[in-house]
Amino acid sequence: MTEPSFTVHIQPDGTKARARQGDILSDVLMRAGVPLSAYCNKRGVCGKCAVRIVSGPLPFQTPREEALLLRRGLGPDHRLACLYEVRSDVAVEVLPGSRLESVAVLETGMATDVIPQPAVRKLFLSLERSGPASPEAALDGLRSLLKTRDLGVPLPVLEKLGGGSIASKGGFTAVLFGGREVLDIEPGDTTEGIFGLAVDLGTSTVVAEIADLRTGEVVGRASSVNTQASYGVDVVSRITFAFENPDNLRRLRRAVIQLLNELVAEAARPRGVPRHRIYEAVVAGNTAMNHFLCGVPVDTLAMAPFHAVFTALPPLPAAEIGLSINPHAKIHIVPNIGSFVGGDVTAGLAASEMASSHGRELFIDLGTNGEIVLKRGRELAAASTAAGPAFEGMNISCGMMAVAGAVHHAEWDDAGFRLRTIGDLPPSGVCGTGLVDILAIALENKLIRPDGRIAAPERRLELGSGLALTQQDVREIQLATAAIRTGALLMLREFRTPSRKLDRILVAGAFGGSLDVRNAVAIGLLPDIHAGRITFVGNASLAGARKLLLSAPEREAAEALAASIAHVSLASQPGFQDEFVKAMEFKPYRAGEP
Amino acid sequence: MTEPSFTVHIQPDGTKARARQGDILSDVLMRAGVPLSAYCNKRGVCGKCAVRIVSGPLPFQTPREEALLLRRGLGPDHRLACLYEVRSDVAVEVLPGSRLESVAVLETGMATDVIPQPAVRKLFLSLERSGPASPEAALDGLRSLLKTRDLGVPLPVLEKLGGGSIASKGGFTAVLFGGREVLDIEPGDTTEGIFGLAVDLGTSTVVAEIADLRTGEVVGRASSVNTQASYGVDVVSRITFAFENPDNLRRLRRAVIQLLNELVAEAARPRGVPRHRIYEAVVAGNTAMNHFLCGVPVDTLAMAPFHAVFTALPPLPAAEIGLSINPHAKIHIVPNIGSFVGGDVTAGLAASEMASSHGRELFIDLGTNGEIVLKRGRELAAASTAAGPAFEGMNISCGMMAVAGAVHHAEWDDAGFRLRTIGDLPPSGVCGTGLVDILAIALENKLIRPDGRIAAPERRLELGSGLALTQQDVREIQLATAAIRTGALLMLREFRTPSRKLDRILVAGAFGGSLDVRNAVAIGLLPDIHAGRITFVGNASLAGARKLLLSAPEREAAEALAASIAHVSLASQPGFQDEFVKAMEFKPYRAGEP
């Protein structure tokens, strides 16, 4: 007997999809190519995948579903696609707010001031033939021009060297990598066109930047939410998804490569950069993203003791990765430090010049996976702590990413909260930096108790403009803050470094225009040192990738740095649980802490 | 108007092919997959592509065509396929003798006695996990086990390292190349299976040998005529063919790779060697064959000053070449010395240990392209001379390759020639070593004058058993001998080395069981030194390839040797023409020569 099959009409797209009895609507929509938001990885808890049931059965809403829909102002004909089982033909409208959209993300981090010293260079050459008396192979001629005997050449490039256009008198341009490898051969003089690609491969957002490798000038940039979010919003969901079956790993890989290729095309367009003239790329991503990009299984990352397959890799040819730039271009994956301290952190350290600076420094990346690096003299150690995505606006009822309309700063006057939004638009949600301000204000004004309890009897913190934080929202922020704080405390204690003796704290994160560090200190997210010694570096990962692209010596130094950093597993530290419970209280670091 | 199109019925195959008005029959047959002999590259001069016209028009035979067909005992209903234009439907029978057949070729050369020291080795490993306190990436674990930080790993192998079967407790086997590169990862202990491939990539014949890299034992061997012969029997024809258009180069490449893959399969069969357990290959071929194998254009080899595209190449992955062994296996192309002194000569020198021996030595490869290497102390020089394929039995009316039924030796008694054949079969033709014997006997008995003229008034040298040499045949041998002799003389003179002072002459060639060096000296093919100092090494190219496969240090030495040999262009030497004319006389070297 054949299982019954139904038609799902998708609006406003006007497309149709087939579904079998009991299929989950969100799966059907994703298979049909709808870029559905699924921040909670289809667990029915984020409410981001709401759709309107235009025609078809309307089963009872679960209480949680009803609450999530109500928050978005959605009525009884709406349902969460991830909870809806298809049991007959159905027509659904996918709401604009339920789709992943290309958003303006925080693209620039610290300024990187680096003298371009790329590993790739171009030489305009001519193979002077000295007549029949001294037969010489073209490649040997090239070797002697380049003064090296060991010269690697991919076969397709060797074919070009044998082609008529190269052998002719006009001369040609050799693209060299590290002086020992010919990446390409181009007829005529093309020495002016030599580009590289810097990629910030974030879990939530991806930014691609094209730079002129001669001058260091950024000639194009494009960004997008990471479309892998369709398969799970956070890294852990995606690792679980990939672990389920090998096809899923392929899906994740395909999604990120397709996205990168779109971003490269977009970044190349304004200045008309030919994609085959991009000869090198530096990708800064966390450990899992790097594995996805390479199509390497993350099975061991999914289970204790959470081992990665690789930290550092030799440069890979673009064609092997699937990147549509010059097929022989070298892709450098910025080395990971540990299973949950990725190449994005390495890049961030490079951008902040932590390796070359002196003194005691703390680097904190306030991402979903809060990474902490402590430096004491020449000694460096790194750890990660599961902060969750609260500071990225996720798992917060009124939370959102740092995009236009997001509340990124808040102040207090007698009338209540005064909210400032990105782009000065009417507020549509609160992003990470806004949450920090709101929490600090609420604490100061006793709207929230240090233990996180909302003072108002209805347990809602009204922010105005229809926005409010629930008790659950405050708990999420509390957990995130406690995770970071516990991590920092344990690291400082392990390396016997009192927080007040820190020369500098570098805070990285892609969650707002700029973090009010005073407020971050007030809620206990950052150690209590003078605000002047705390620097918010924003998206340091992209800045680092760009730096490591432009300078081969800096890249080598960063590779050595990553290999030298000790990785500390916080969860196995004695006292972790005790500290975590203590850190749940919103309050500044104690004077003697740690 | 559509051009008329005709049907060609191919017998005994029972297949049909379409042809357009005026198509050449040999092209039609080759397109249809018939492995037609075309030794003269379809110039109508070798007579090897004769077919019987079963039904269809029979245009007049040209006088040369008639003579060629008569030689093969073929009557008026036969034609040469390369001269036959299709002008209506036609049925043809392709004669067995007009097909390229798999033949037993001279497979073994000198014994190579080398201690196996392959670049590839296997290690059975287990990634002991030390618990959550020290997260370690699998690749880093492998690096520390192998005590190297720089470890290259192809992405597909990295994927395996992340797979469950490798991460599990059972342990795995890493295949290492040169200690710095992981070629593969295999579950369990596979250290016993580690094989390599040695290939003699000849213009006429191709031999593939599989060796156990641990013991050096040859575990399988297969050989075939080079199926590229369909596109031209000699290197120059094939270079011209490839030069005509890029598709032809692709055809040559495809033909040789398909053949190699068939030979590998055949060689692997008897002992059941899994092809993915072949991790390294050494290919010894001439410069043009090496270019064809890599798909590199030979345009510059087709025209003066006859430059190659490459002499030496770094090892290439099997997948890039298209060889069906382990995709990450390393293919070493034995470096060429010059445009017409190829890697087969380098391999031959390695087999004969010319580099490490002392004294004055002459190495002569009696191939179509006669290669000559002279060694004086530490100084080495190489040259090539266009001998033509006479010693391989081609362009000789009764000539044939050194296969069963070929006359490979001749003696004289009062009744005339006494012929000995390979396999003691009734004689069906004469191969190279037989020709040398016959010429020497004919000279001694004044059946041929030193100037090459056949004494008998009908200008035919009857050999018995229905075989005879024509005046033209003798001229071909005379030209080949003169080319080799001129080359050797000029080299000896250039390096001021009297031939009598040579400590050793090494003669390589794939044209018979063993060369009677006394006869070769008598006709002036080889310098007149004591026969005990002349060694016939046979197919030294294969022996060399095997040696260079088994020993990485020997391979490095051979690479250095090839780079150090001076290449001499004989044709541009003063006196070349004069010497060549003098060398046309069949007689031993003069006492004072050079």
Instruction: Note the residue count of chain A.
Output: 594
User: Between A and B, how many residue pairs show a Cβ–Cβ distance under 8 A?
Assistant: 163
- In this structure, the number of other CB atoms found within 10 A of the CB of residue A297 comes to 22
Contact B122, B84 (CB under 8 A): no
Which residues from B are below 8 Å from A155, CB to CB? 294-296, 316, 320-321
Contact A307, B135 (CB under 8 A): yes
CA–CA dist A94, B290 (Å, integer): 60
Which amino acid would we find at residue A368?
Answer: T
CA–CA dist B416, B412 (Å, integer): 6
What is the torsional sign of CA B530, B536, B541, B546? negative
| Tens digits of residue pLDDT in B380-422 | 999 988 887 788 777 788 888 777 788 999 999 987 999 998 8
CA–CA dist A541, A315 (Å, integer): 19
Are the beta carbons of A162 and B309 separated by less than 8 Å? Answer: yes
Are the beta carbons of A299 and B164 separated by less than 8 Å? Answer: yes
Is the pLDDT at B351 greater than 60? The verdict is yes
Helix orientation angle between A235-244 and A287-294, rounded to the nearest 10 degrees: 40
For range B256-284, the mean pLDDT = 95
Q: Which of B563, B538, B569 is nearest to B112 (CA)?
A: B538
In the prediction, which pLDDT does B134 show? 43
Nearest chain A residue to B315 by CA distance is A152
pLDDT band, residue B106 (cuts 50/70/90): very low
CA–CA dist B23, B528 (Å, integer): 52
Are the beta carbons of B305 and A129 separated by less than 8 Å? Answer: yes
In the prediction, which pLDDT does A105 show? 41
Instruction: Note the residue count of chain B.
Output: 594
Nearest chain A residue to B569 by CA distance is A133
Nearest to B299 among A154, A167, A321 (CB): A167
Which residues from B are below 8 Å from A563, CB to CB? 149
Are the beta carbons of B135 and A339 separated by less than 8 Å? Answer: yes
Contact A197, A207 (CB under 8 A): no
Averaged confidence pLDDT in chain B: 87
In the prediction, which pLDDT does A95 show? 86
Nearest to B137 among A307, A571, A572 (CB): A307
In the prediction, which pLDDT does A594 show? 65
Which residues from A are below 8 Å from B296, CB to CB? 155, 158-159, 161-162
Please tell me the distance in Å from B134's CA to the nearest CA on chain A: 7
Phi, psi angle pair for A97, to nearest 5°: -70, -5
In the prediction, which pLDDT does B189 show? 92
**Comparing A557-561, B68-72, B76-80, B560-564, which segment has the lowest mean pLDDT?**
B68-72
Which one of B257, B290, B310, B320 would you mutate to disrupt binding with A, by most A Cβ within 10 Å of its Cβ? Answer: B310
Element holding A372 (H helix, E strand): strand A369-376
CA distances from A485 to A214, A526, A532, A579 (A): 43, 7, 20, 9
Nearest to B155 among A308, A320, A339 (CB): A320
Which one of A250, A307, A567 would you mutate to disrupt binding with B, by most B Cβ within 10 Å of its Cβ? Answer: A307
| Tens digits of residue pLDDT in B1-19 | 467 789 999 988 888 889 9
Nearest to B137 among A135, A140, A308 (CB): A308
Quote the DSSP letter at residue B230: G
Is the pLDDT at B109 greater than 70? The verdict is no
CA distances from A540 to A352, A380, A398 (A): 7, 18, 27
Are the beta carbons of A158 and B294 separated by less than 8 Å? Answer: yes
Q: Is the bond into B457 cis (omega within 30 degrees of 0)?
A: no
Give B58's contacts (C-beta < 8 A, 6+ positions apart). Answer: B76, B77, B79
In the prediction, which pLDDT does A593 show? 66
Q: Of A356-365, B305-314, B547-556, where does the model show the most confidence?
A: B547-556
CA–CA dist A195, A273 (Å, integer): 8
In the prediction, which pLDDT does A134 show? 43
Are the beta carbons of B131 and A305 separated by less than 8 Å? Answer: yes
Give B370's contacts (C-beta < 8 A, 6+ positions apart). Answer: B364, B384, B385, B386, B387, B480, B483, B484, B487
- Return the structure tokens found at A49: 């995948």
Q: Of A123-132, B189-198, B241-250, where does the model show the most confidence?
A: B189-198
3-state secondary structure of A298: coil
Are the beta carbons of B158 and A320 separated by less than 8 Å? Answer: no
For range B337-360, the mean pLDDT = 87
CA–CA dist B422, B430 (Å, integer): 10
Which one of A127, A239, A300 would you mutate to disrupt binding with B, by most B Cβ within 10 Å of its Cβ? Answer: A300
Quote the DSSP letter at residue B39: T
Please tell me the distance in Å from A484's CA to the nearest CA on chain B: 20
Are the beta carbons of B167 and A294 separated by less than 8 Å? Answer: no
- C-alpha Rg value of chain B to the nearest Å: 26
In the prediction, which pLDDT does B98 show? 80
Please tell me the distance in Å from A167's CA to the nearest CA on chain B: 8
Element holding A261 (H helix, E strand): helix A246-268
Which residues from B are below 8 Å from A311, CB to CB? 137, 139-140
Give A222's contacts (C-beta < 8 A, 6+ positions apart). Answer: A207, A208, A262, A263, A264, A266, A267
Is the pLDDT at B278 greater than 50? The verdict is yes
E strands in A397-545: 406-413, 416-421, 429-430, 460-464, 467-470, 504-508, 534-538
Nearest to B307 among A137, A304, A316 (CB): A137
In the prediction, which pLDDT does A132 show? 40
Please tell me the distance in Å from B383's CA to the nearest CA on chain A: 11
Q: Is the bond into B305 cis (omega within 30 degrees of 0)?
A: yes
E strands in B414-503: 416-421, 429-430, 460-464, 467-470
Q: Which of B355, B373, B363, B375 is nearest to B506 (CA)?
A: B363
Which residues from A are below 8 Å from B253, CB to CB? none
For range B487-516, the mean pLDDT = 86
| Tens digits of residue pLDDT in A354-408 | 877 778 999 999 877 789 999 988 889 999 888 877 887 777 888 877 777 889 9
Percent of chain B with pLDDT over 70: 92
CA–CA dist B78, B93 (Å, integer): 9
Is the pLDDT at B474 greater than 70? The verdict is yes
Nearest to B155 among A132, A294, A300 (CB): A294
ipTM over 0.90: no
Of B189 and B40, the structure prediction assigns the larger pLDDT to B189
Which residues from B are below 8 Å from A307, CB to CB? 129, 135-138, 167
Are the beta carbons of A162 and B129 separated by less than 8 Å? Answer: no
Are the beta carbons of B336 and A137 separated by less than 8 Å? Answer: yes
Contact B102, B227 (CB under 8 A): no
In the prediction, which pLDDT does B130 show? 44
Nearest to B135 among A138, A151, A307 (CB): A307
B472: left (phi over 0), alpha (psi -120 to 50) or beta: alpha
Regions in chain A scoring below 50 on pLDDT: 1, 102-111, 130-135
Is the pLDDT at B117 greater than 80? The verdict is yes
